[in-house]
């Protein structure tokens, strides 16, 4: 008799376990972790139409160091060049603090590739300006390096000193 009661108790326990498992399978899925958001979870974005070409002047920075801890300028130029050479995206930081992701123009990649060697320098970039999801970007169609006012004066003074000697 004890044996029969034990078997029935075990069967009842197994039945409860199976019932709970079946209930969990039909329950609504748990809320997704915010870090696991997929493209399907996002609302459709409006089509971004590139604007007419514009010229924007600013400093070439690598996205990782600038966004991560504000690194920029001549003291950080070598690190930025290495980061960009390693595949880190480049950005253009303007004097008013705006940041533009630089994208390569598929028809002419040369200006974009030249910018990879100019991290830490101030340049003027011309191309279609785009914005999507709060991010600014400029498709690099052309570029021209600019020189700060201090450099030409020092350079000119050095040349005139060399001529006097």
Question: Is pLDDT of 161 > 80?
Answer: no
Domain boundaries of the chain, sorted by first residue: 59-147
Which of the 8 DSSP states describes residue 20?
A: H
Write down the H helix ranges in 27-147: 63-69, 77-85, 110-115
pTM (predicted TM-score) = 0.61
Mean pLDDT of 39-55: 67
Q: What digits encode the pLDDT tens for the residues 74-114?
A: 999 999 999 999 999 999 999 999 999 999 999 999 999 99
Q: Say how far residue 67 (Cα) sits from the centre of its chain.
A: 8
* Residues 4-23 as b or e (16 or more Cβ within 10 Å = b): eeeeeeeeeeeeeeeeeeee
State in Å, rounded, how far the first CA of the chain is from the last one: 119
CA 19, CA 157: separation in Å to the nearest integer? 89
Question: Is pLDDT of 146 > 80?
Answer: no
CB 128 within 8 A of CB 51: yes
């Amino acid at each position: 008799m004890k044996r029969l009661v034990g078997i029935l108790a075990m069967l009842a326990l197994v039945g409860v376990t199976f019932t709970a498992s079946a209930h969990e399978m039909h329950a609504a899925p748990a809320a997704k972790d915010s870090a696991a958001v997929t493209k399907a979870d996002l609302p459709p974005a409006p089509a971004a139409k590139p604007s007419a070409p514009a010229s924007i002047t600013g400093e070439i920075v690598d996205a990782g160091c600038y966004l991560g801890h504000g690194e920029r300028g001549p003291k950080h130029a070598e690190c930025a060049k290495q980061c960009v050479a390693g595949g880190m995206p480049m950005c253009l930081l303007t004097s008013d603090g705006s940041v533009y992701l630089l994208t390569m123009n598929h028809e002419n990649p040369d200006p974009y590739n030249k910018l990879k060697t100019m991290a830490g320098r101030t340049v003027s970039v011309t191309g279609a300006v785009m914005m999507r999801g709060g991010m600014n970007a400029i498709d690099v169609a052309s570029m021209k390096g600019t020189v700060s006012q201090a450099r030409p004066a020092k350079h000119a003074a050095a040349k005139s000193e060399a001529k006097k000697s």
